[in-house]
Amino acid sequence: MGARIVLSLRTKLFDHVQKMPLAFFMRTQTGALVSRLNTDVSGARTAFTDILSNVVGNLITVALVFGAMFVLSWRITLAAMVLIPLFLFPARWWGRKLQKLTRESYDLRAAMNNVMVERFNVAGAQLAKLFGRAHDESREFETKAARVSDITVTQAVYGRLFFMALILMAYFATALVYGWGGVLAAVHTLDVGTVVALAALLGRVYGPLAGLSNIQVSLMTALVSFDRVFEVLDLAPMIQERPNAALIPRGPARVSFDHVSFRYPTAADVSLASLESIAVPDKRPEKTVLREISFVAEPGTLVALVGPSGAGKTTITQLVPRLYDVQSGSVSIDGVDVRDAKLDSLHERIGTVTQDAHLFHDTIRGNLLYAKPDATEADLKEALHAAQILPLVESLPKGLDTLVGERGYRFSGGEKQRLAIARLLLKAPDIVILDEATAHLDSASEAAIQKAFQEALRGRTSLVIAHRLSTILEADQILVVQDGKIVDRGTHEELIERGGLYADLYRRQFAAAEMRAPAG
């Protein structure tokens, strides 16, 4: 039963975390979250295993022994039973002590787990080496590990003291039986043999009583695990599918933003202080990131988002797949508000490639099949060919079965990006979102990718955060975003003719890139 409980809690917790919004993962320590699924869930099991294995048998033993003693001498039996609360008081006191230590131990283990998760990945290990902080990291880890070791020793000492306290109570009860029984035997009220039998029976009840007392200690410490597990389970996901959600059918898609205003959720909205190791209260007023955003991307058109860093371009693209919910206005696909759509159908229609393409620590084949599990070998090669990376993959000794490494670090930035684009092409979505997807590519690679994109984006609605001039020139509509507002819109020629922010950005960024392109 304990194993089944662990399985149920762990799977429910994993499934629940999967449903949490993106803002939750932006605030939560990965190691602390992993610790909830491993250490805390396993700790919750002890409450069931200890209780079920000990309480029933011990209760039966105590009841039978005291029943036999009651038959021999009800006076001495009642006197011995008066001492039972003395077994319970130490359990309550030690239970509280151990509960506090257990919580601190779990917090420290979660912090250690987070350090390992962050420092043992490629990016973290590289940063520690480049800044020469490896020794400092080791000392910090040793400090946490030493405190965990101290807590373990303290728990062991408390456990031994608790056991000694129970033994003392047992000796006191035995002395009481022999003392009072001896007096009764001297006046011939009780036989000596009965006194010895009572003492022997009382000796049989010490172990079960100690076991029952220890259950309270185990339960109080196990409740720490339950608190930490259900703390996460009780945190309701902000993004939830409505009961009568609509299915968005496949086909040409029309994306519409209607007076959308948005602010990012606060820590209290989406996260837990215990999952954020350094929780600094943010007393600043909530900042509205987007204000009255309205535009329409017609089926098969390419809409480019242009503006300075921090203007809100990425935020706009994140509202389409409903990574966040708007505070006012609406985002709709083919007239269906994304908040009223089935999440699976919504995500099936949308494909995204970000600037920092993420690849799982798996083979090339495994990463591609993540987009389309039933894809054939021909499908995979066709997607790789369209992404202009098939010759490279075929040149590798293991081909599609080559391990990409954690986050794909065994490949260059441009190679990772093209693998991510191949994954997008394999999914064949109706709506494509490109968040500076060609930022890591050189001019030659970009030209090949742009050609692939022309085929991939044909007939599909595209939202592209422009990083290269070629994307700007091909856009059917350019939205100029500044401070969370669309300050201008139109084609490249129209915006250049009108001047303003876009013309200034073009002269400072895109025109300079265009002049450098022939030299590259």
The domain spans of the chain are: 2-233, 255-267+287-516
Vertex 354, ends 309 and 128: CA angle to 5°? 80
Provide CATH code, domain 255-267+287-516: 3.40.50.300
- Of 190-204, 331-345, 426-440, the poorest mean pLDDT is in 426-440
Beta strands in 372-494 (DSSP E): 431-435, 461-465, 477-482, 485-490
For residue 292, the SS3 value is strand
pLDDT per position as a tens digit, 17-51: 888 888 888 878 787 788 888 777 877 776 667 66
Domain 2-233, CATH among 3.90.226.30, 1.20.1560.10, 3.40.50.1000, 3.40.1390.30: 1.20.1560.10
**Token pair of 47, please?**
């409450």
Are 416 and 364 spatial neighbours (Cβ–Cβ below 8 Å)?
Answer: no
pLDDT per position as a tens digit, 313-371: 989 999 999 989 998 999 999 989 999 999 888 888 898 888 777 888 888 898 899 88
* Cα–Cα distances in angstroms (integers) from residue 439 to residues 268, 353, 354, 435, 446, in the given order: 35, 11, 9, 9, 9
For residue 485, the SS3 value is strand
Partnered with residue 477 across adjacent β-strands are 303
Q: Do the domains 255-267+287-516 and 2-233 match in fold?
A: no
Which among 159, 173, 202 is positioned nearest to 86, based on CA atoms?
A: 173
Are 32 and 274 spatial neighbours (Cβ–Cβ below 8 Å)?
Answer: yes
pLDDT per position as a tens digit, 259-278: 999 988 877 777 776 677 55
Threshold 0.85, pTM exceeds: no
